[in-house]
A and B are shown apart, each in its own frame.
Chain A
């Protein structure tokens, strides 16, 4: 158990809908990261927040947005969902922000768009 929690574990929804994925980092960690794992794209970095501020951005679609709250939990919002958004979404956390910081991953949220 990494100490990173994600809810829900599974989510099934329809095209065009909007969903929110939630992540709580390990105690004491200030950075939260979001990754998407799909069969065709593999594991891809989406976005990083550090202490409430966006710190790094990857291949995140404009339909997706994230935020980190004062209690350091984070939410990833996915809107206007398409079939291709079906994937496993991972959250990770680390103590600080820099490139030497080890990331610990949560169990993931499996999103199915029908």
Chain B
């Protein structure tokens, strides 16, 4: 089955690094995603990682994948107040019939304090 879990809250100080964690259950997932949702806004794709990779870096964002433990993390370097938002981890399991869907975690609310 598909289940994605995240911690609900994270508070960091401006300038520090933030690490948001996620565990997933479906080992067939080919891609794993991180989306950001600001208050009253839609879902913004931040980054994604292919399941055969261990790490992906994109400017201030670093994604680490431990496929054995089904654990995904998103590190945000030099966190800014503009990074305050809800961050969703999502897996994309392989579906019979060739379709596509995302299974989302509960979201982690990141609060950046001055």
Contact = CB atoms under 8 A, between A and B. Distances in A.
Interface in A94-114: 94, 97-108
A27 interface: no
| Interface SS, A side | strand
B43 A98 contact: no
Interface residues of B, number: 27
B107 A56 contact: no
B100 A98 contact: yes
Interface residues of A, number: 28
Contacts of A105: 35, 42-45
B95 A56 contact: yes
Interface of B: 29-31, 33, 35, 41-45, 48, 88, 92-95, 97-107
Contacts, number: 73
A35 B106 CA distance: 14
Contacts of A108: 42
Contact of A45 (B30, B42, B101): B101
Contacts of B30: 99-100
